[in-house]
Chain A
Amino acid sequence: MIARRSWAGVFIGLLPVASAFAQAADVAGLQRRLEEQEQKTAVLERKLEIQDETARAALPNTPVIKAGPKGFSIASQDNANVIRFRGLVHFDGRYYLDDAGLGGSDSWRTQRVRPTLEGTLYNFVDFRFMPDFGQGRTVIQDAWVTGRFRPDFQVTAGKFKSPVGLERLQSASDIRFQDRGYPTLLAPNRDLGLQVGGNFLKDALTYQVAFLNGSNDGGSSETFTDADVSDDKEWALRLFSHPFVNSGNFYLRGLGLGVAGTVTDQKGSNTQTLLSSFRTPAGQTFFSYRGAAAAAGATPASNAAIQDGDRVRITPQLYWYAGSFGLLTEYINVETDVSRQATAADPVRSDTLDNSAWQVQLSWFATGEEETYKGFTPNSVFTLGGPGWGALEFAARYQELDVDDAAFDGGALSFADPAKSASAADSIGVVVNWYLNQNVKLGLEYEHTSFDGGAAGGADLNDENALLTRVQLSF
């Protein structure tokens, strides 16, 4: 009995010791688990650090891809190398309201279909490649490379817009009317050659000097299959100023004015006369020089009028964009030495023809957007069933083109036939453009054109009235 009591006493006495051991074991276990958790946390944190380091290291080689209203682009992180994909489609309609004039068939047409690839390399070489599949043909409109060595010294080589006409130099996606005005018919379009240009005084003054193959009035080098037909070249020069671009005067900042011109000495032939025809804003030809008439063998029945000597263009130009209002105006005068030997028996007739054109355009965003020479941003975007309506713009234009009366002198020996070609045209047009967003424009335009001459017996051609529509997709 005593022994039993003794063992029980020992057992009871050992209970606190056992409890202490158990508690110590628990603490050690907890300590171990805590350390394990700390290690796991540290490993996770370190893995995140390494991921960040790897991502940062890879960043310089990770391209930046953008897709938006201004097109699609892939660029290096430092933006030194960029490639952009752009496009322009003009789907037009022409409806002649009075078939008694120059006539013409009402028609739909794809005026421009231009996928464009452009970009920058090494932060100083720009390039552009722009084919055009519009009007059922394939033409390379732009194929040029520019080295931007300094802001005031940039060299361009390839096929590009000749630096002359103000509206011609405006992007096709930015022109307000379906076709550019009469001055553009006398200014060169795209040509092949070299150009040096740049800007001074914080963009207040820009210049371009180009040495080019030379192109007809309103024409491009593809007229000559993108190759020259003679050794003679054309010089082009343009000076343009934004005198208030750096001033605090908001209304004057958008004023730009300048002068441009070309000079060349070239001689055409029966097949490449170097002389152009002129069209109304609705695309109907109202003036042409006399062409060669075919006869048996190599000898034509009659020869064409050709450029034969100097051609000098000069064009003062101005635009002014202030708030929702825009003004664009330009004048161009072209002096061209022309000759024609109607038949082998006739004397060679030579003269210097003095053709000129001018236009004034006014534009206004009824929805309050800012008018600019290049691009715009709509205040709202059209949303089907939503509150946005896009931007609404109204524009009006008056323009004249005058052909030198001397072109019609000489009867059958004249450079142009007065019974078929008008000596002058004046047009007034109005257009309403609805920009659903920055990329889609719907245009509805009315054009009225009057003529001097151009009909039999010295009568005037009937007035032309046309309704023009445009669907534009650009990005």
Chain B
Amino acid sequence: MNLALIGINHRTAVLDVREKLWFSDTELPGALAQLKNQFFTECFIVSTCNRTELYGIADVQKNPGSADTMVKSAGESLVNLKSASHTVLPHHLYRLFGCKAAGHLFKVASGIDSMVIGDIQILNQIKSHYNLATAEHTVGVFLNRLVQTALRVGKRARTETSISEGAVSVSYAAVELASKIFSNLSEKRALLVGAGETGELASKNLVGRGIASFSIANRTRARAEELVKDLGGTVIDFDQVETALRDIDVLITSVSSPQYILSPDQLRRVMKARSNAPLLVIDIGVPRNVHPDVNKLENVFLHDVDSLSRIVDQNLERRKSAITSVNAIILEELIGMRQWFESLQVSPTISDLREFFESVRSDEVRKHINRFSEQDRELVDLVTKRIVNKLLHLPTTNLKNGNGESAEERHKKIHIIRGLFGLHKNEPIENRLDEDTIP
């Protein structure tokens, strides 16, 4: 496979460096066209906040030298396209070839190379960047197959393993908790008291899950009104909170206050007024907004940032333990892809072989044709052609159909034939490597 990968990700470079090499959707078409022109027969780029990776099928005719040199130059071009050669240095970039490059893309698609394991977004990002490259006509047979397989790997990883299961952020953990207590969030009501990123995110998630109604309270009414514009819902006066609690199922507090804003006695009254219907209280405040003894009340579930973090840690552990299964899927698909590629190798090898035999035949015939009479010249041509065809018949059939051999054995055969007859024209890049790097 002439597949090459040059890239930068969160493991090799910090954000300051990575963002210099980020390509927007408007910049990509130009970049793709230029890189394809210089180095590749096919190429496509994935560029997100955590990585920029260029995948390409090397054009051997344009770059007859060492594969590594070619890929290094491609990397330099990539960096120069963004005029980032002062910030993005060679050691920030990694290069991979052939199966390793393919395997890397599969790892990325399945979410195990992301900053947060099991990240779902990356699959959509790969898809959209692939569509972009397709529209620019920089994608051909190989990359098509590669990306389709990568998307399948991503889908399989998500459906067959627990790599993307469970909340891995505090705000999502809050929603997960709500759905462990309540059956139907679309029949429940939530109240956010205060403001702050985590609280707002959790509220946004609840609204996203279709919570029936949502209200916001803040000591400064204006701030509450501001938030309502962003999140939707209604505003409640801060001193109305205790009364409002009687009709609320999920309470999120995110107030910066040195004292507790809710006491056990208050909650006891509230619970009595709502016939003890379950109440989830998520206290994001540091220091805490709700007195811990509130948790002792029947049907009140009080959770703070610590317990939400515990949920997140547990889920991360579970995702990590799914990595082995994901790797098994990746290996399976890599083998499939290799077999497909091997099957493609057969035709060029056969044609290269025929070409070689034909060149020898026509050479010799040309040299000695003058020894034959005019009538015999056609016959000589015919007979020599027949000899060549007969000689090639068995090897050709053998290569095409095989005798129930494995892909590995066929690969060896092709390699041997190419070596024996010196057929290097269409030889894959892997046979010309002098080094490869792993990030």
| A complexed with B | no
A residues lining the B interface (CB < 8 Å): none
